[in-house]
Amino acid sequence: MNRILYLLLFTLFIHNPVIKADDGYRLWLRYDLISDPQVLGSYQRSVSGWIIEGTSPSSIVTANEMKNGLNGLLGKNIERLSAIKRNGIIVAGTPENSAIISSLKLNKQLTGIGSEGYIIITTKYRNEKIIVIAANKDAGVLYGTFHLLRLMETHRDISKLEIVSSPKVKIRILNHWDNLNRSVERGYAGLSLWDWNSLPDSLDPRYTDYARANASIGINATVLTNVNANALVLTRDYLVKVAALANVFRPYGIRVYLTARFSAPIEIGKLKTADPLDPDVIAWWKAKADEIYSLIPDFGGFLVKANSEGQPGPQSYNRTHADGANMIADAVAPHNGIVMWRAFVYDNNVPDDRAKQAYNEFVPLDGKFRKNVIIQVKNGPVDFQPREPFHPLFGAMTQTPLMMEFQVTQEYLGASVHLVFLAPLFEECLKSDTWAKGEGSIVAKVIDGSLENQQLTAMAGVTNIGNMRNWNGHPFAQANWYAFGRLAWDPYLNSSDIADEWIRMTFTNDNETVARISRMMLDSREITVNYMTPLGLHHQMYAGHHYGPGPWVNRGRADQTSVYFNRADSIGLGFNRTSTGSNSVNQYFPHVRDIFENIETCPENLMLWFHHVPWDYKMASGRTLWNELCLRYEKGVDSVKWLSDQWELSKSKIDTERFEAVKALLVKQERDAKIWRDACILYFQTFSKRPVPEGVEKADHDLDYYKAYRYTDIPGISSRF
Ligand code: GCW
């Protein structure tokens, strides 16, 4: 009887596994017991113990991860061993720190994978079948361990492993736009993680969890402070705090960088100038660099925003960006530091087309930068819009390394309220063909250095991390952190593979649910483009908060207004950037230029970026531009409803806490999508003077209502705007 009852209970349990509440803190590193009995059984047969012989701080954190991961996933204590005495042992280490690894003679496999790469193989050791994670250095062992755990979290077959992986990009770096008072510029997930007041004495355990999460996806660097920089962080009191963070991050392979305020020699150095050619200024930066390295020997270097949006820079002294970058680069060079110099510049003298400015300023400087300078370029020529063409600088500088700057925080994509998976946006840019050296010269090849054989390579993500319990605000915003890390490791990955992994680790391995959520995620970016800025429109956000619509915004600096970018008039809509307009198309290589120049060949999704299109222009659908535009907005709104329906179908497979959180956010997203649709259609209609086509829901209010509409619930910044 008991036995039958037991069996009954067991079957019930297996078929209805309890879905535990989840506050999202553990991100994709949940390590919950594997719920699929078959998968669990096969893993329990393949894994019976593990060995990590190394004793460095990095080996210790790797061992902790191995232990917590295996014990959690397999639901029992998996023994740590010191010798191979049976089948199913995992051995992780380097030839230096592990006698077993060294005896396996893996030199051939290990050459060419560098200091961060790893191999994971199934092999035999004195007749015992074992899994080996081997690397040249500790960091590789840690990454390999995370990889193996990921395979298990995603229920992959681990019986015959033959994995070789090494990062294609050298510096994979988060940019925190965090201020020293803990506010975060464009941050929507609470305060900055860095509690400067309590550092260096008190170390929040979150610092460790932050490092772990980053290491799990291969991120190996972080810039702690805002590019709109405060020189105070370079004073000794703060540097000691920075050093404390660097100490926490080091075992996880993460190096710390800071933003350098160009006028720091004046502000904290008491000099009269910050002129990069002034000997006192040069000496000040050199001494500052020496001081930093005495506290943080593996300090990465500086990120600099100069002569842009009011930030000081070399041009204030009639010097060039190269003069400024080189001066700081020389100060850090003896310590192997680098300077990441941003190309997001726009001058106070408003140019004819803001999209052209970075290219015009930087291309003439090609070849003039020191070897340890890399130019950090945003993915598109304007500013992190839902859709932009790739930045024309990619491929255009042959002697200077260029790095990517993606924005992970959703400044222009609905903050932490809208469900928008950004991997498709990142992927679209990385796979864009610049034609710099003929067909196939895709942006990813600029970023991984292969196009021009650059050794210094990097990818930055302006992060969406804050001190909210779930780190990012929206449960799905975690996927953007995850995707950034994975693409920085390998810019050739596909969004769908990334989504699949992330969903399995974060929510469930139920195939049907994974497929459904994956569809939602993969479509989500296009959905947002439709209800915000379809057909190549851009920068139509309300001034300041950039959250809701503001196509009418016409006050302030001209090239920050919506009317500057939409150019709506009685004839049509869109920014003429062809040869008859601003001619920014000419910054692209001829093949690409010709495609964008001709309205017949310009991709429709970028049409209003490059062309001023008449309202009655016939689109691919056969509809006029006006009708097509209205229907795109409607499609955006309808698709948000679709997202909600899809989410509802996943209810039984998701823990209540996160299910309800996402559900509530989708309600807001639908509200916002409607506001976008109605506000934009009503505003553009004042120019088109055409009726709204059938199939588009009628706006609830008139244009004045939307112009006067004030959000009270934008995370993080509602008090400011
Ligand atoms: O998009 C703009 C943002 C600013 C930001 C700037 C930049 C940090 O609105 O908040 O400043 O870009 O990238 O420097």
Which CATH number do you get for residue 60? 3.30.379.10
Separation of CA 185 and ligand 1 centre (Å): 8
Same structural domain, 358 and 298? yes
Which two three-digit tokens encode residue 20? Answer: 């535990």
Same structural domain, 184 and 126? no
Residue 218 has a pLDDT of: 98
CA nearest ligand 1 atom 11, residue: 228
Catalytic residue among 383, 405, 427, 678, which?
383
Same structural domain, 189 and 85? no
Out of 177, 262, 407, give the residue to mutate to test ligand 1, the one with the largest number of ligand atoms within 8 Å of its CB: 177
Which two three-digit tokens encode residue 446? Answer: 């600029």
CATH number for 653: 3.90.1330.10
Beta bridge partners of 172: 459
The total number of structural domains in the chain stands at 3
Residue 721: inside a domain, yes or no? Answer: no
Q: Counting Cβ atoms within 10 Å, is residue 634 exposed (0-12), middle (13-18) or buried (19+)?
A: buried
Q: Distance of alpha carbon 440 from its chain centroid, rounded?
A: 24
Query: Angle 293-297-301 (CA atoms, 0-180°, nearest 5)?
Result: 60
Same structural domain, 181 and 272? yes
Same structural domain, 447 and 554? no
Residue 52: inside a domain, yes or no? Answer: yes
Closest atom, ligand 1, to C-alpha of 308: 14
Beta bridge partners of 173: 221, 460
Annotation says 22 is catalytic: no
Q: Are 390 and 371 in contact (CB under 8 A)?
A: no
Residue 351 has a pLDDT of: 74
Catalytic residue among 53, 405, 411, 628, which?
411
Task: Please check the confidence at residue 702 and state whether its pLDDT lies above 90.
Answer: yes
Rounded to whole angstroms, the Cα distance separating 536 from 619 reads: 13
Which two three-digit tokens encode residue 392? Answer: 């024309």
CATH number for 356: 3.20.20.80
Separation of CA 311 and ligand 1 centre (Å): 11
Query: Angle 118-224-493 (CA atoms, 0-180°, nearest 5)?
Result: 40
Same structural domain, 362 and 471? yes
Verify whether ligand 1 is closer than 6 Å to residue 227 (CB atom): yes
Verify whether ligand 1 is closer than 6 Å to residue 344 (CB atom): yes
Annotation says 411 is catalytic: yes
Verify whether ligand 1 is closer than 6 Å to residue 186 (CB atom): yes
* pLDDT confidence tier of residue 716, bands split at 50, 70 and 90: confident
Q: Are 136 and 110 in contact (CB under 8 A)?
A: yes
Verify whether ligand 1 is closer than 6 Å to residue 183 (CB atom): no
Rounded to whole angstroms, the Cα distance separating 213 from 205 reads: 13
Separation of CA 547 and ligand 1 centre (Å): 14
Can you tell me the mean pLDDT for 342-370? 91
Q: Is 215 left (phi over 0), alpha (psi -120 to 50) or beta?
A: alpha
Same structural domain, 123 and 209? no
Task: Please check the confidence at residue 2 and state whether its pLDDT lies above 80.
Answer: no
Can you tell me the mean pLDDT for 86-93? 97
Closest atom, ligand 1, to C-alpha of 384: 1
Q: What is the rounded average pLDDT for all residues in the chain?
A: 96
The 10s digit of each residue's pLDDT in 429-486 is: 999 999 999 999 999 999 999 999 999 999 999 999 999 999 999 999 999 999 999 9
Tell me 582's DSSP state: T
Residue 698: inside a domain, yes or no? Answer: yes
The 10s digit of each residue's pLDDT in 323-350 is: 999 999 999 999 999 999 999 998 777 7
| E strand or H helix that includes residue 304 | strand 301-304
Separation of CA 383 and ligand 1 centre (Å): 8
Rounded to whole angstroms, the Cα distance separating 169 from 446 reads: 10
Task: Please check the confidence at residue 8 and state whether its pLDDT lies above 60.
Answer: no
Verify whether ligand 1 is closer than 6 Å to residue 448 (CB atom): no
Same structural domain, 459 and 534? no
Handedness of CA 185, 186, 188, 189 (dihedral sign): negative
- 639 in helix, strand or coil? helix
Task: Please check the confidence at residue 203 and state whether its pLDDT lies above 70.
Answer: yes
Separation of CA 227 and ligand 1 centre (Å): 8
CA nearest ligand 1 atom 13, residue: 344
Separation of CA 422 and ligand 1 centre (Å): 18
Handedness of CA 644, 650, 655, 656 (dihedral sign): positive
Residue 20 has a pLDDT of: 82
* pLDDT confidence tier of residue 17, bands split at 50, 70 and 90: low
The amino acid at 328 = I
Residue 224: inside a domain, yes or no? Answer: yes
Separation of CA 473 and ligand 1 centre (Å): 20
Q: Which of 115, 133, 165 is the last residue of a domain?
A: 165
Rounded to whole angstroms, the Cα distance separating 234 from 221 reads: 18
Same structural domain, 561 and 459? no
Residue 377: inside a domain, yes or no? Answer: yes
Where b means 16+ CB within 10 Å and e means fewer, 567-604 reads bbeeebbbbbbbeebbbbbbbbbeebbebbbebeebeb
Same structural domain, 679 and 616? yes
The domain in which residue 549 lies consists of: 530-575+612-708
Rounded to whole angstroms, the Cα distance separating 502 from 524 reads: 15
Q: Which of 490, 505, 520 is the last residue of a domain?
A: 505
Beta strands (DSSP E) in 366-453 are 373-378, 402-407
* pLDDT confidence tier of residue 3, bands split at 50, 70 and 90: low
Q: Is 310 left (phi over 0), alpha (psi -120 to 50) or beta?
A: left
Residue 719 has a pLDDT of: 38
Verify whether ligand 1 is closer than 6 Å to residue 611 (CB atom): no
The 10s digit of each residue's pLDDT in 651-690 is: 999 999 999 999 999 999 999 999 999 999 999 999 999 9
The 10s digit of each residue's pLDDT in 493-525 is: 999 999 999 999 999 999 999 999 999 999 999
Verify whether ligand 1 is closer than 6 Å to residue 406 (CB atom): no
Same structural domain, 359 and 497? yes
Residue 19 has a pLDDT of: 82
Residue 489: inside a domain, yes or no? Answer: yes
* In the block, residue with structure tokens 């201020």: 179
Residue 593: inside a domain, yes or no? Answer: no
Q: Counting Cβ atoms within 10 Å, is residue 202 exposed (0-12), middle (13-18) or buried (19+)?
A: exposed
Residue 18 has a pLDDT of: 65
Q: Distance of alpha carbon 522 from its chain centroid, rounded?
A: 16
Q: Which of 470, 490, 505 is the last residue of a domain?
A: 505
Task: Please check the confidence at residue 700 and state whether its pLDDT lies above 80.
Answer: yes
Separation of CA 594 and ligand 1 centre (Å): 31
Residue 349 has a pLDDT of: 76
Catalytic residue among 79, 96, 157, 309, which?
309
Verify whether ligand 1 is closer than 6 Å to residue 358 (CB atom): no
Which two three-digit tokens encode residue 325? Answer: 């970058």
Residue 540: inside a domain, yes or no? Answer: yes
In sequence order, the 6+-apart residues with CB closer than 8 A to the CB of 705 are: none
Same structural domain, 217 and 138? no
Q: Counting Cβ atoms within 10 Å, is residue 648 exposed (0-12), middle (13-18) or buried (19+)?
A: exposed
Annotation says 162 is catalytic: no
- Our CA dihedral for 207, 209, 211, 212, rounded to 10 degrees, sits at 160
Verify whether ligand 1 is closer than 6 Å to residue 22 (CB atom): no
CA nearest ligand 1 atom 1, residue: 383
Percent of the chain with pLDDT over 90: 94
Which two three-digit tokens encode residue 300? Answer: 């990465």
Name the nearest CA neighbour of 650 among 478, 515, 498, 521: 515
Rounded to whole angstroms, the Cα distance separating 483 from 475 reads: 14
